[in-house]
Chains A and B, each alone.
Chain A
Amino acid sequence: MSKTKATAAIVGPGNIGTDLMFKLMRRSTIIEPRFMVGVDPTSDGLARAKRLGLEASAEGVDWLLSQEELPDIVFEATSARAHQANAPRYAEAGILAVDLTPAAVGPYLCPPVNLSFNLDAPNVNMITCGGQATVPMVHAVSSVVPVPYAEIVASVSSRSAGPGTRANIDEFTETTAAAVEVIGGAEQGKAIIILNPVEPPLMMRNSVFCAIPEEAGEPGALQDRILESIHAMVRTVQEYVSGYHLRSDPQFDPARSTWRGQARVFIPIEVKGGGDYLPDYAGNLDIITAAAARVGDLLVAHRLGIATSWKSTSELGEQPADASAPERAGV
């Protein structure tokens, strides 16, 4: 009998793992979250998963792999080092892996940019939250003009950055910078992450700076085309995360000698989360969990030979954030 549903395990019951559980439940009908796996018996995420009917264990991946029925797909939300160790074990057991750590074992995936990937890939990488929020913008610019250099700054509230994120801060910047190049299309990429503890927490905020040709730094047709491309990409991302929006209009500046003779565009992105787990300031969770749910749904549909079930923002009947009226959170 052919399966119509795939079972999933989430490894890492922290902020990202817990938010992902909700995303899978809401947005995919062909993925059934069955296991939640951690290492800390007092984890809030394990208790929550249990209450929602998942089998939860604090005995790690050894426990998961000793189950009689293994999951079809595993979502890893631990740390880069843990995924590097676990990835070969999942592969050996024939389990698909969607990696939400910056381990970058498999190819980088950013759904609005490179969803047509090799669906037979046994392991795919979701870059980082900052990467999911910024790579689409770099791509929007680089698809109109050459981008010799792009730099992204991701600011997230301290409360939404769990121990995995904190232990992986180097991997975060390196993986994000690499994805800005490989998927974003910049010749050279740089990534910066800032944790801000202010209360009430700040909403996830990302700045994208792209070096652009001198002509594009001045008002004109080329600049208009870049703007159009940015706005179109915002709408595409909103189909995953309705709270993704421009905080203000992109700012173009003519070339300056102190910018190594480059003109630039500055794109301020704010991501309001869906509040599935942490409150709406934690858009950094949504931007990566929504992308992982989308990719997981696609992989599972391909493997089972069935139709995808993932629902976009408009299919869910949600309203995307209005780009012309940016949130004024905290002001």
Chain B
Amino acid sequence: MGDMSIRPEDAPVVGRDVTESEVLAHATTAGGPTDLRITDSTLRDGSHAMSHQFTEEQVRGVVSALDRAGVQVIEVSHGDGLGGSSFNYGFSLVDEFDLIAAAVDEATRAKIAVLMLPGLATVKHLKRAHAAGASVARIATHCTEADVSIQHFSEARDLGMETVGFLMLAHRASPQVLAQNARIMVDAGAECVYVVDSAGALVLSDAQERIQAVIDEVSRDGAQVGFHGHQNLSMGIANSVLAYQAGARQIDGALCALGAGAGNSPTEVLAATFERMGIRTGVDLGEVLSAAEEVVRPFIPRLPWMDRASITQGYAGVYSSFLLHAERAAERYGVPAHAILQRVGELGYVGGQEDMIIDVALQLSEEQQLGDLAAAGVR
């Protein structure tokens, strides 16, 4: 297991409390040299929590506020990545390429990133996103299937985009297997590989060991390592700090935690925590707090929260975006959402298999009816 001790350079700035007025009066510190880069995914992972109903006005507001706060990368796509608008994942209210173009138009300093999952999106989607002005390609596969992304990394590099690999549901692979898959992505052209805790299932050392293994494998090539956390077991921030200490230099967050399941590591909490530790993110705390409180909070229909269903996702290792789909199936078939998610975890379904939620709900409903009949003495 990795080194869990906090090194001197990572120690928090202690000995004096920072008052709220100091934070608010804080002169803007946006920009400048940084120790790590925060990528905000409010407008991509948050799309799940918004049932993919983002408006252009919301996108412009969030991008403008994040850009002002000094967040360097802002991800904009359907929650399931480019091309995700569908029956299976939910249709987008506004075409994602229009949202990407609006984000590019609004940003003055920040780079606009897009997510794509090979098997769902193709190089054609990536080219359209690039034409709309996106400059960072985040290419995601299940943590053991990196070899499906090889053609996409090479195309993204040819387009001149910055490339980031996303190894999803990272708890499902051992640190060694994760490192092998990171190797495939780096060889294909990834400049950074993320350990993606899609289920919010990694608990502290689980995260750190995986990040360490990936760093050991790819840092000699000059590739960076990143961490994307979820709050299902409330580990997003703590895992992000451990990730930084292990050497990760890119960390994902979302304003107000707006993301799938119980949400992502809140960007504003990441900024505050890293600032207390003396780790420079280039993000202005006052501005990012205001972005969360005044820009995002007012339009969120339901704040992501650790409730029975989302905690079950963390516990059973279920892809976070299954949450709202399970709730809808629960309503349609009269079975509890957490029971659906528990079964989905047992069966080992991976990201993208939202259609299996219907299967599971039907099975549970059938079992429930058989149980009711048995209880009534019917054989």
Residues of A within 8 A of B (CB): 151, 153, 155, 158, 163, 166-167, 169-170, 172-174, 190, 192-198, 202, 205, 207, 209, 211, 247-248, 251, 253, 258-260, 264, 266, 268, 330-331
* 0/1 interface trace, chain B 342-379, chain A, CB 8 Å (1 if under): 00000111111101101100110000000000000000
Selected from B86, B145, B348, B353, the residue in CB contact (under 8 A) with A190 is: B86
Question: Which of B34-42, B70-78, B114-122, B214-222 contacts its partner?
Answer: B114-122
**Interface residue B339 (Cβ < 8 Å from any Cβ of A):** no
Extra inter-chain contacts (11) besides given A153-B353, A166-B147, A248-B363, CB under 8 Å:
A151-B86, A151-B88, A167-B150, A169-B119, A173-B122, A190-B83, A194-B352, A195-B350, A205-B359, A207-B355, A331-B363
Show 27 A/B contacts (Cβ-Cβ < 8 Å), sorted by A: A151-B87, A153-B352, A153-B355, A163-B147, A166-B148, A167-B150, A167-B151, A170-B118, A170-B122, A170-B123, A173-B120, A174-B124, A195-B119, A195-B148, A195-B350, A196-B348, A197-B142, A197-B145, A198-B347, A198-B350, A202-B347, A205-B356, A209-B355, A253-B332, A259-B87, A266-B355, A268-B358
Question: How close is A149's CB to chain B, nearest CB, in angstroms?
Answer: 8
Q: Are A248 and B355 in touch, CB under 8 angstroms?
A: no
Q: Are B142 and A195 in touch, CB under 8 angstroms?
A: yes
Measured between alpha carbons, how far is A206 from B210 in the docked complex, in Å?
33
Measured between alpha carbons, how far is A152 from B342 in the docked complex, in Å?
25
Residues of chain A lying within 8 A (CB to CB) of residue B51: 258
**Taking each of B144, B152, B349, B359, which has the highest tally of chain A beta carbons within 10 Å of its own beta carbon?**
B359
Residues of chain B lying within 8 A (CB to CB) of residue A166: 145, 147-148
* 0/1 interface trace, chain B 244-261, chain A, CB 8 Å (1 if under): 000000000000000000
Q: Are B90 and A209 in touch, CB under 8 angstroms?
A: no
Q: Are B148 and A258 in touch, CB under 8 angstroms?
A: no
Measured between alpha carbons, how far is A330 from B332 in the docked complex, in Å?
24
Give 10 closest A-B pairs by Cβ, nearest first. A198-B348, A207-B355, A209-B87, A170-B122, A194-B352, A193-B119, A197-B144, A169-B148, A248-B362, A169-B118
Q: Are B142 and A192 in touch, CB under 8 angstroms?
A: no
Q: Are B144 and A158 in touch, CB under 8 angstroms?
A: yes
Q: Are B363 and A192 in touch, CB under 8 angstroms?
A: no
Measured between alpha carbons, how far is A194 from B27 in the docked complex, in Å?
48
Question: How close is B241's CB to chain A, nearest CB, in angstroms?
Answer: 30
Measured between alpha carbons, how far is A207 from B170 in the docked complex, in Å?
26
Q: Are B350 and A170 in touch, CB under 8 angstroms?
A: no
Measured between alpha carbons, how far is A193 from B141 in the docked complex, in Å?
12
**Interface residue B91 (Cβ < 8 Å from any Cβ of A):** yes
Q: Are A268 and B359 in touch, CB under 8 angstroms?
A: yes
Residues of chain B lying within 8 A (CB to CB) of residue A190: 83, 86
Which residue of chain A is the closest to B347 with respect to CB atoms?
Answer: A330
Residues of chain A lying within 8 A (CB to CB) of residue B151: 167, 169-170
Residues of chain A lying within 8 A (CB to CB) of residue B347: 198, 202, 330-331
Measured between alpha carbons, how far is A194 from B354 in the docked complex, in Å?
11
Residues of chain B lying within 8 A (CB to CB) of residue A195: 119, 142, 145, 148, 350
Measured between alpha carbons, how far is A205 from B352 in the docked complex, in Å?
13
Measured between alpha carbons, how far is A203 from B348 in the docked complex, in Å?
13
Q: Are A209 and B88 in touch, CB under 8 angstroms?
A: yes
Residues of B within 8 A of A (CB): 51, 83, 86-88, 90-91, 118-120, 122-124, 142, 144-145, 147-148, 150-152, 172, 332, 347-353, 355-356, 358-359, 362-363
Which residue of chain B is the closest to A197 with respect to CB atoms?
Answer: B144
Q: Are B363 and A259 in touch, CB under 8 angstroms?
A: no
Q: Are B122 and A194 in touch, CB under 8 angstroms?
A: no
Residues of chain B lying within 8 A (CB to CB) of residue A196: 142, 348-350, 353
Residues of chain A lying within 8 A (CB to CB) of residue B355: 153, 155, 207, 209, 266, 268
Residues of chain A lying within 8 A (CB to CB) of residue B90: 258
Residues of chain B lying within 8 A (CB to CB) of residue A268: 355, 358-359
The verdict on A192 contacting B87 (CB below 8 Å), with A169-B148, A205-B356 known, is: no
Residues of chain A lying within 8 A (CB to CB) of residue B351: 194
The verdict on A158 contacting B87 (CB below 8 Å), with A167-B150, A268-B359 known, is: no
Residues of chain B lying within 8 A (CB to CB) of residue A251: 358, 362
Residues of chain A lying within 8 A (CB to CB) of residue B363: 248, 331
Question: How close is A199's CB to chain B, nearest CB, in angstroms?
Answer: 8
Q: Are B91 and A247 in touch, CB under 8 angstroms?
A: no
Residues of chain B lying within 8 A (CB to CB) of residue A209: 86-88, 355
Residues of chain A lying within 8 A (CB to CB) of residue B172: 197
Which residue of chain B is the closest to A172 with respect to CB atoms?
Answer: B119
Which residue of chain B is the closest to A210 with respect to CB atoms?
Answer: B87
Measured between alpha carbons, how far is A54 from B332 in the docked complex, in Å?
55
Which residue of chain B is the closest to A330 with respect to CB atoms?
Answer: B347
Selected from A153, A258, A260, the residue in CB contact (under 8 A) with B88 is: A153
Residues of chain A lying within 8 A (CB to CB) of residue B87: 151, 209, 211, 259, 264, 266
Q: Are B91 and A207 in touch, CB under 8 angstroms?
A: no
Measured between alpha carbons, how far is A207 from B86 in the docked complex, in Å?
13
Residues of chain B lying within 8 A (CB to CB) of residue A197: 142, 144-145, 172, 350
Residues of chain B lying within 8 A (CB to CB) of residue A258: 51, 90-91
Selected from A163, A167, A194, A247, the residue in CB contact (under 8 A) with B350 is: A194
Residues of chain B lying within 8 A (CB to CB) of residue A169: 118-119, 148, 151
Question: How close is A227's CB to chain B, nearest CB, in angstroms?
Answer: 16
Selected from B91, B120, B144, the residue in CB contact (under 8 A) with A192 is: B120
Question: How close is A209's CB to chain B, nearest CB, in angstroms?
Answer: 4
Question: How close is B196's CB to chain A, nearest CB, in angstroms?
Answer: 16
Question: How close is B315's CB to chain A, nearest CB, in angstroms?
Answer: 18
Residues of chain A lying within 8 A (CB to CB) of residue B362: 248, 251
Measured between alpha carbons, how far is A190 from B84 in the docked complex, in Å?
10
Residues of chain B lying within 8 A (CB to CB) of residue A331: 347, 363
Question: How close is A156's CB to chain B, nearest CB, in angstroms?
Answer: 10
Which residue of chain B is the closest to A170 with respect to CB atoms?
Answer: B122
Which residue of chain B is the closest to A196 with respect to CB atoms?
Answer: B350
Measured between alpha carbons, how far is A173 from B352 in the docked complex, in Å?
14
